[in-house]
Structure 1
Amino acid sequence: MARTQHRSRSRSRTAATAVLTVLVLVGAAGWWTRLAPDGDGAGTPSAADRSTTSRAEAKEPSGWGPTKSERTQAAVLADALPLEDLAGQLIIARSFSNEQSLALVRDKHFAGVMVTGQQILDVTTDDPLTDVKAFNQQLQEAGGDRGFPVMVPIDQEGGLVARLTDPLTTFPTFMSAGAAIAGHGDEGAAAVTAATKASGAELRTAGYNTVFAPDGDITIGPADPIIGSRSASSDADIVAQAVVAAIDGYSQAGLISAVKHFPGHNVSTDSHKGLPVLDSDRERLRSHDLLPFEAAIADSAPGIMTGHLDVSAIDKGVPASMSRKVITTGLRKNLGYDGLVISDSLGMGAVMQRYPGGDSTVEAIKAGSDLALMPADNDQAYDAVLAALKSGEIPEQQARDSAARTIAYLLHSEASRELPGDPGSHTEQSQQLSAMAATVVAHPCPVPRITSVSPTGSSDAVAAFRTAAQEAGLPLGGGTSVALLGPGVPAASADVVVSTDTPYGLARSSAPTKVALYGSDVPAMRALVAVLMGKARALGKLPVDIGLPPPTRC
């Protein structure tokens, strides 16, 4: 355990140092300034890029990722795919039904299937995880003649974005990672790594091999429309450290992770509804938005997910997910990234309004994405990609290189040691992260002794708090009023107000004691109850500015 934490801290420091080195070397002529403003940034693939032999002779990679032999095997498998299979291998299907999803994998060679919403988990059964495991196994069986696994991804960031909850261990929002690192440095980073390693172990046991997390976005504060507590902080350096710590944990669990949403969903418009403009100039991009992704690349990030963002300083009017300047020239050539590039969901408003039918899938692949995620219509997307391959609109060798990257990571994940991952077996790691993140924002002097509590808030949060209080022997009813301030609730009034998502509402709340918690599940509430009972100190640090002075020292 100590060796694992030491390795994680060392890798975090190494990645941070690597980022600073890159910035020093790049200087005023940063990678964004090297993008040709008037060209398409496409360039011509070199002979080495086109050669399977050259790909196979690449140096043995450092960090978690495909070995040289796995890359060689992947290149051979990718080059043997007929065009009809190659087209499917570039797409992760949107699941409308289990039957259709299995058919897409079996008959059209789709790379994988993304299941979301109510379809993912039927909580009405006695054993709700059984159906999930069974379907994930059926997906692998549907692609059983490939010689490599089917990609089975999940959105499981923690907090509000967690497609699977009970019976798996639940984890707090990623903003907890920022608070833990801001308050505890390397120890906080180690808690983040332990949490993502634990989450990854349970996800692999459930049949997943890919997680679309962590967020490399830097929240813009209360005006943030969709990212919010999914971001670790408004401080780019804190986000970079949190991303590296999270990647380390997922990689230790053998899970392919994908940092999102490149080059940063640091905007005031929700890309589910329209195309946001990331109005950073080149200097701001270099010194702020890109730092978490540079850290991720230095830490051998397996995947990066592109965002549907108009990066106006680079490719005005074109979503980053569709921009060859941003992906092929920027991310690939200038940042030197050779991991998986995955588009954000192609069923989102930012692209559906501009690229009808299968056009968005073709454009994402042409721009340099290895995998086009969740097109609005799977069959239209497949037909469009196949036609583009046959016409040469999508270069065949580029497509085979993309397939080889995906296959190599799937082979590596399959070969990685599977850690113990019994459902719900990692509440200690979840609670420890919440304990590291918990932040006292205000308190009276002297600090009052709490002997009984009356919680208010959402029914789920109150139920979790009551469970934690009863376990700890803290009487319920009367005494100190505790208001649990959840997402979308602007303020509260009580003896103690606790934010369980972003902490901005604490500034508007009326309470002598204010605590930022970043989570509302039972492990988070156990950490909170320990603080209220005086058994633990809340030494996290706010990762965002909420307009309040530091708490008074007693």
Structure 2
Amino acid sequence: MSASRRARRLAVLIGLTVVALVVAGGVVWWADRDTSSPGSPAAAPSAGDAPRAKAAKEPAGWGPTAAEKDQARSLAEGLSLKELAGQLIIARSFSNESSLELVRDKHFAGVMVTGQQILDVTTDDPLDSVKAFNRQLQDAGKDRGFPVMVPIDQEGGLVARLADPLTTFPSFMSAGAAVAGHGARGEAVVTAAARASGAELRAAGYNTVFAPDGDITIGPADPIIGSRSAGSEPETVARAVVAAVDGYSEAGMISAVKHFPGHNVDEDSHEGLPVLRSDRERLRSHDLVPFAAAVAEAAPGIMTGHLDVPAIDKGVPASMSHKVITRGLRDNLGFDGLVISDSLGMGAVMNRYPGGDATVEAIKAGSDLALMPADNDEAYDAVLEALRSGEIPEQQARRSAARTIAYLLHAQSSPELPGKPGSHVAESQALSAAAATIVAHPCPVPKITGVVPVGSPEAVTAFRTAAEEAGLPVGAGTTVVFLGPGSSGGSGDVVVSTDAPYGLASSAAPTKIALYGRGVPAMRALVQVLQGKARAQGQLPVDVGVPAPKRC
């Protein structure tokens, strides 16, 4: 898609999204009167329920074809109740052996591997063990007639479960800076980076990525989202999200925009239940805009957040709320993709829903997939019992299974893009180059002929590599101070933030640069700027309290 065509489409998309959410008589979010009830036939509409005449029409964006939906419906109807219970859960991996057993013996939809278990760094090829296990997962489910879901958290920046030998990508806030600074060209760069990341993940054996982040950061008080967000302006975040979803889809990856209806709060849901204090008007005009844009763009998945939204369903986590998921996301926004809960082992829900209750409540509320329960076996037993008793309506569960299966079949049939893991450095560097933002500079801009890098060890190491490659002498000259995540500021000739840029406000330096990344590709983009070979024309996607730099 050309840059001009992308710009026109996104402008129309964002405009229509905002109008639909705000104008009375249009899409009305969470009408005061609930016209459906959990488990009713109308409570969880899906493409799987559409009349066959309508099913013949192919979707406009990336997604299951009519034939794939038909095949998925048939496969879902053929599941026994025991298999159906497992198909609604993505397991938390405690060991490779137990994970394979859950897929093979209890028909779990997939397995989420996190932490140290994801990568065996003692092998000569650290990615080899990852690919081998992902193949084992598919082999464990080979008799089901469709792929096992193998998801990963790989947003870029601080949330990247796999590092070397995969290409390192900057935080998603870089997408906001690129979009804000370059418009359509920035959107194209974001799409290219997401496509590249998705291609590498597919080559490693993954078919699902829990990204991009549709949250709108609240600023320095943001305890957990931070640079994972594209910014603080709804339209900028929406444009970045849509561009990233396009890239993942082009790579044949199932993406999931998170954390609906917006983790725009000052508390970490890993520890407690945050309260999203937006009233209905602010929900329409602010928090929901990126998600509505993603829905309009046929995003494959939406991940719900563990958030108390008093304006909609006070005291009930959004991830457990029928009003939020079925009435809001499904009925009112018309979303027909996959709904996935956030991890059910988080503090926001564990203390409120003991045992397998959290898993049952998430599914009853309208989730297709319950992610990472604290105890896999307890969750499975609870879901099976709820299916047997009718607490989870069987037809609702089969619709969810059909929806998941259809996307897995479509991802499997999508062509794999060329390029092995680690081969997309150019796309990562291009994103950092488009995002790099000059926050302050002297006039005239001095010529830098040598540098002394200090500060964040990871950033300094990456910068040394990039500087030496470019022939920029290291060890004497301009002091370049790198601020790591959470840094309160620094002092030097040049101060560079490598995560959220808030520390630049309290930094003492004639030159301040927001970079949004710490890897070698980001540092190569920075070196080009320092050498005067490139201009940093990204735009701050958040307010850091620093006046715009003067023109020289």
Aligned to 1:97: 95
1:258 Cα deviation after fit: 0.1
Q: How high is the TM-score relative to the length of structure 2?
A: 0.97
Amino acid aligned to 2:75: L
Alpha-carbon distance, 1:284 to partner:
0.4
Aligned residue for 2:218?
220
Q: Which residue of 2 is the match for residue 135 of structure 1?
A: 133
CA distance in 2, matches of 1:421, 1:27: 48
CA contact 2:368–2:401 (8 Å) conserved in 1: yes
Contact preservation (8 Å) 1:11, 1:299? no
How much does 1:15 deviate?
Answer: 2.6
Find 1:34's aligned residue among 31, 34, 48: 31
Q: Which runs of 5+ in 1 are unaligned?
A: none
Structure 2 counterparts to residues 3-18 of structure 1, below 5 A: 3=1, 8-18=6-16
Which portions of structure 1, spanning 4 or more consecutive aligned residues, are displaced by more than 4 angstroms? 3-11, 46-53
Deviations 1:80-121 (A, max 9, x none): 100000000000000000000000000000000000000001
Equivalent position to 2:203, from 202, 205, 222: 205
Correspondence list, 1:141-290, <5 A: 141-290=139-288
Q: Provide closer, same or farther for how the CA distance between residues 328 and 46 of structure 1 changes in structure 2, counting only shifts above 3 A.
A: closer
Q: Which residue of 2 aligns with 1:380?
A: 378
Instruction: Give me the CA root mean square deviation.
Output: 1.7
Deviations 1:142-162 (A, max 9, x none): 000011000000000000000
SS across alignment from 2:428: helix
Alignment partner, residue 504 of structure 1: 502
1:76 and 1:388 map into 2 onto residues whose CA distance is: 23
Contact 2:46 2:403 (C-alpha < 8 Å) held by counterparts: no
Distance across 2 between alignment mates of 1:544 and 1:230: 12
How far 1:123 moved relative to its partner? 1.8
1:418-476: CA deviation from partner (whole Å, max 9, x where unpaired): 00131111000000000000000001111111000000122221110000000111000
Paired amino acid for 2:29: W
Count of residues in Structure 1 that have an aligned counterpart in Structure 2: 550
Aligned pair in 2 of structure 1 residues 55, 120: CA closer, same or farther (>3 Å)? farther
Q: What is the identity, as a one-letter code, of the residue corresponding to 1:27?
A: A
Are the aligned partners of 1:93 and 1:114 in contact in 2 as well (CA < 8 Å)? Answer: yes
Identify the residue that residue 412 of structure 2 maps to in structure 1.
414
Aligned counterpart, 1:543: 541
Read off the aligned partner of 1:213 and give its amino acid letter.
A
Deviation at 1:60, TM superposition (A): 2.0
How far did 1:552 drift?
1.0
Q: Is contact 1:56-1:68 (8 Å) kept?
A: no
Letter in 2 for 1:45: P
> Does the CA contact (< 8 Å) of 2:320 and 2:365 recur in 1?
yes
State the one-letter code of the partner of 2:127. L
In the alignment, what sits opposite 2:40?
44
Distance (whole Å) between structure 1 residues aligned to residue 47 and residue 500 of structure 2: 49
Specify the SS of the correspondent of 1:484. Answer: strand
CA contact (8 A) 2:470 2:527 kept: yes
Q: Is the 8 A contact 2:174 2:435 kept in 1?
A: yes
Alignment counterpart, residue 296 of structure 2, candidates 295, 298, 304: 298
Aligned to 1:370, the other structure's residue is in SS state coil
Separation (CA, whole Å) in 2 of partners of 1:11 and 1:512 = 40
Q: Which residue of 2 aligns with 1:79?
A: 77
Contact 1:105–1:142 (CA<8 Å) still a contact in 2? yes
Give structure 2 stretches of 5+ with no counterpart. none
Q: Show the counterpart of 1:455.
A: 453
Contact between 1:56 and 1:75, CA under 8 Å: does it hold in 2? no
Rounded Cα–Cα distance in structure 1 between residues aligned with 2:513 and 2:43: 58
Shift of 1:126: 1.3
Contact 1:343–1:371, Cα closer than 8 Å, also in 2 = yes
1:327 paired with 2:302, answer no
Whether the 8 Å contact between 1:482 and 1:495 is mirrored in structure 2 is yes
The 3-state SS of whatever aligns with 1:326 is helix
Does structure 2 retain, via aligned residues, the 8 Å contact 1:362–1:385? yes
* Counterpart amino acid of residue 284 in structure 2: R
Contact 1:55 1:72 in 2 (8 A): no
Shift of 1:513: 0.4
Instruction: Give the deviation of 1:124 after TM superposition.
Output: 2.4
2:532 match: 534
The CA deviation at 1:49 is 5.3
Q: Aligned with 1:498: secondary structure?
A: strand
